[in-house]
Structure 1
Amino acid sequence: MTPQQHPEQVAILNSQRWFWKLQLVSWLGILVTTFLSLTFWHSSVEWPHFEPGNTLFQCSIGFFLSLLLKPIFDVAWETPIALRTFIYLVAVGVISGIWTLVRMETYIRLTGEDSLWAEFGGWYYASLFVFLFWSGLYCGVKYFLLLQQEHEKVLEVAAFHEREQIRRLHAEAVAKEAQLKMLRYQLNPHFLFNTLNSINALIRFEQAGEARDMVVRLSQFLRHSLTEDPVNKVSLDQEIGAVLLYLDIEKTRFADRLKVELDVEEQTRRALVPSMLLQPLAENAVKFAIALSESGGTIRILARREGQELSLQICDSGNPEGPSDTEAEEPVSTGVGLSNVRDRLSTLYADDYSLTQTRKETGGMLIHIRIPFESRATKVDNSTTREVIA
């Protein structure tokens, strides 16, 4: 198909090619069959010299008469099936009658047998059979071409929908990635302000070494948070390392008031989790528990594998100097940190996750996350690693 040709023009061109091919093949077949079954067999003892030419002449007349049926069939094709069938039968009957008259008249002139008209019914039956065969072949091929054309349209529509679906999935993936990046880069400005104030205080008190170390840790943490791809997942071991880097910066501010405990199963260290998942939760614990307590407190991170799920818990010891935990009817809001984590989990896992926030009986807040367990590890170890950072 050339670029200038419309699909409908191509279909018409293919239909015409099919018609002429089948027209030649079918009438050639009728010619050979007539010659072998009637002319040659019937005249095997005495073969008149005019028989081959008569057979060729009759098939040629039938060939041209069938060309008259084609426009009639094409015009009636769009009519209702009952009317179409009636028109086809009438046209076939008329054309068969004309062909019968031509054949019989030709044969009478060649042989001189005037009594041949008494056999008109038999000759007409043979003509009717030939043109009914031609009509069945023509309609069958036409239906086949239409079916093939419809099949091509269905494939074209399916391909179009597939391309649209690919575009939609690509757009959704881009939107999802953009959403993850937006959520991922929502750094709490309080953390930066507090850290910079702490560095300023260290410089003011001439603690240059501590200030320099804090700047290095801050730059490492910011580099990690800004360069890590928010779409890709990292191992839990890497995520805990990032949280410890953040808490190490906070320990410069709170000194001995901040303690961190890790209770992580060895087999969970290779589990895949969203990058920077725990940092907002640790930041909430620092902000709402450690910073408000004169005696400080402890942040505990726990990781377990429970069947096909990874269970992550991060909790704090609360604020003993604040209101009693039993007086609070519901957990206090933790700002954008918790909602940020919830939105990222929803984007990555749809409904295949859970995040709960509860108050512990001993005081403090407990955040519990369950996500599908995904790991690159091939071997698991049921041993448990416990680490206490003072």
Structure 2
Amino acid sequence: MDKLLAEGDARRLPDLGIALKSILGFWLLYIGLITLRALVLQYPDFWAMLGRRCFVVLAGMALTFLVYLAMRLVAKRGLAAKAGLAALLCLPVSLLFTAFNYYVFYVYAPLDAVKMEQERNAMGWSPLEMAARSILETSLSWFFLFAAWAAFYVAMSYARQLRAADRRAGALAREAQEAQLRALRYQINPHFLFNTLNSLSSLIMSQKTEVAERMLMNLSTFFRATLSADPTADVPLEEEIKLQRLYLDIEQIRFPKRLSVEVEVPDNLLLARVPILILQPIVENAVKYGVAKSRKPVTVRIQAYEEAGRLHIKVKDDGEAAPPGNGEDGGTGVGLANVCDRLTARYGAKAGCLYGADPDGGYTVHLFMPVVRE
């Protein structure tokens, strides 16, 4: 409830903090400068004048706050509307403040120094004429003081609105990116799951229950590790490699004599962070289109190295390359596109994918991204 009330007050009094701080700062600066001048010029009745100045400054703060309250009418309008209203408001406020200042110093119990000044400037003027002349002459100076505060307040208020708009835009962009990453990430599991369930079905139909049980346990471990992770998180490359080894262990049950695995990752890159399961569709494609469709033993090799501040990861199989025209990534239009989209969403132009059939047979996918170790 308190939070809702506070939010309601903030809507009724926009930029209240900026207004109060700027009002206090402007008027304290004024009284500090005018008091310093009085000390330097050794004005008479210093302490009595100082007391009246403080009283007048309090009135000035109140009038400035009234200007702020009146400007709430254009709180949601553009810069031109705020500046125009501020200029209009400062004119009557400066006249009112000048009249009050004149009354405090020249009408209400004038001090000796003020009386001497009045006598020097009288020049045959009546008291009313002299008051009007003094108010009109000095109101212009006060107008610029109020206008200076209003300009400062409008600028700070507008800057705060721009910062708030930037924060909202940034938050929306991050939310959109996270939503995209989650959507791309969740495209992976059904694809892999359907393939594995088909393999389990084949093993059970072949009465290979022990092998099927081992594959099921590996599958359970794999999904426990992957589904509990944040889809937008980054993980150490070492952990990503372990997940791929776990997947390949499942596939080696299907292809015990046809699939072998090699991993070449230097120790200094084991802690480099990568998007979780970024290699999964690539490794899956290597098995699906390199191993499953080959009649000879196939090696799936995962290699990583660092070059020019970027992490490079290659996944290569030496199976029979897919015939031209069967899809840009060896037969699938989703897996590799998913990986490239995730890298672009995560790193922008600093990351990318290269892929294609090798001249000596097989298929290679080359990922590159910034090296991040923390």
Question: What TM-score does the superposition give when structure 1 sets the normalisation length?
Answer: 0.66
Counterpart pick for 2:98 among 9, 19, 27: 19
Is residue 361 of structure 1 aligned with residue 336 of structure 2? no
C-alpha distance in 1 between matches for 2:182 and 2:365 = 23
1:335 paired residue number: 333
Is residue 222 of structure 1 aligned with residue 223 of structure 2? yes
C-alpha distance in 2 between matches for 1:19 and 1:140 = 9
Farther-moved stretch of structure 1 (279-288 vs 18-27): 18-27
Task: Classify 1:197/1:24 alpha carbon distance in 2 versus 1 (closer, same or farther; 3 Å).
Answer: same
Question: Which amino acid counterpart does residue 194 of structure 1 have in structure 2?
Answer: N
1:101 paired residue number: none
Shift of 1:360: 2.0
Paired residues of 2:98 and 2:138 also in contact (CA < 8 A) = no
Task: Classify 1:333/1:317 alpha carbon distance in 2 versus 1 (closer, same or farther; 3 Å).
Answer: same
Shift of 1:58: 5.6
Task: Classify 1:373/1:59 alpha carbon distance in 2 versus 1 (closer, same or farther; 3 Å).
Answer: farther
2:285 paired residue number: 284
Shift of 1:230: 2.1
Is residue 64 of structure 1 aligned with residue 98 of structure 2? no
1:345 paired residue number: 343
Q: Residue deviations 1:315-348, cap 9 Å, x none?
A: 110217x75x8x99x8745421111011111111
Structure 2, unmatched stretches of 5+, are 1-8, 14-65, 74-85
Farther-moved stretch of structure 1 (270-279 vs 306-315): 306-315
Structure 1, unmatched stretches of 5+, are 39-54, 70-130, 377-390
Q: Which structure has the larger Rg? A: 1
Q: Residue deviations 1:26-74, cap 9 Å, x none?
A: 6479974575589xxxxxxxxxxxxxxxx599699766335545xxxxx
Task: Classify 1:36/1:339 alpha carbon distance in 2 versus 1 (closer, same or farther; 3 Å).
Answer: same
Shift of 1:309: 1.2
C-alpha distance in 1 between matches for 2:229 and 2:124 = 83
C-alpha distance in 2 between matches for 1:184 and 1:148 = 53
Paired residues of 2:94 and 2:140 also in contact (CA < 8 A) = no
Shift of 1:174: 1.0
Task: Classify 1:66/1:316 alpha carbon distance in 2 versus 1 (closer, same or farther; 3 Å).
Answer: farther
Question: Which amino acid counterpart does residue 97 of structure 2 have in structure 1?
Answer: W
1:372 paired residue number: 370
2:296 paired residue number: 295
Question: Which amino acid counterpart does residue 259 of structure 2 have in structure 1?
Answer: L
Secondary structure in 1 matching 2:312: strand
Is residue 203 of structure 1 aligned with residue 201 of structure 2? no
Task: Classify 1:152/1:57 alpha carbon distance in 2 versus 1 (closer, same or farther; 3 Å).
Answer: closer
2:268 paired residue number: 267
1:247 paired residue number: 248
After the TM superposition, which residues 17-166 of structure 1 pair with which residues of structure 2 at under 5 Å, given as runs?
Answer: 18-24=97-103, 27=106, 32-33=112-113, 36=116, 55=119, 64-65=128-129, 68=132, 131=134, 135-166=136-167
Give the percent of matched residue pairs that are identical in Structure 1 and Structure 2: 31
Paired residues of 2:281 and 2:339 also in contact (CA < 8 A) = yes
- Size of the alignment, in residue pairs? 294
Task: Classify 1:336/1:150 alpha carbon distance in 2 versus 1 (closer, same or farther; 3 Å).
Answer: same
Paired residues of 1:297 and 1:318 also in contact (CA < 8 A) = yes
1:104 paired residue number: none
2:32 paired residue number: none
C-alpha distance in 2 between matches for 1:223 and 1:59 = 97
Task: Classify 1:331/1:251 alpha carbon distance in 2 versus 1 (closer, same or farther; 3 Å).
Answer: closer
Paired residues of 1:258 and 1:297 also in contact (CA < 8 A) = yes
2:193 paired residue number: 192
C-alpha distance in 1 between matches for 2:162 and 2:220 = 48
C-alpha distance in 1 between matches for 2:131 and 2:231 = 72
Task: Classify 1:57/1:342 alpha carbon distance in 2 versus 1 (closer, same or farther; 3 Å).
Answer: closer
Paired residues of 1:180 and 1:230 also in contact (CA < 8 A) = yes
Paired residues of 1:195 and 1:253 also in contact (CA < 8 A) = no
C-alpha distance in 2 between matches for 1:208 and 1:8 = 76
Question: Which amino acid counterpart does residue 6 of structure 1 have in structure 2?
Answer: A
C-alpha distance in 2 between matches for 1:61 and 1:135 = 15
Shift of 1:148: 1.1
Shift of 1:216: 1.4
Secondary structure in 2 matching 1:256: coil
Give the alignment's Cα RMSD to 1 decimal: 3.6
2:234 paired residue number: 233
Task: Classify 1:27/1:316 alpha carbon distance in 2 versus 1 (closer, same or farther; 3 Å).
Answer: same
Question: What TM-score does the superposition give when structure 2 sets the normalisation length?
Answer: 0.68
1:113 paired residue number: none
Task: Classify 1:248/1:26 alpha carbon distance in 2 versus 1 (closer, same or farther; 3 Å).
Answer: same
Paired residues of 1:27 and 1:63 also in contact (CA < 8 A) = no
Shift of 1:308: 1.3
Question: Which amino acid counterpart does residue 366 of structure 2 have in structure 1?
Answer: H
Paired residues of 1:31 and 1:59 also in contact (CA < 8 A) = no
Q: Residue deviations 1:192-247, cap 9 Å, x none?
A: 22311222232233332222221111122222232211222100000001111111
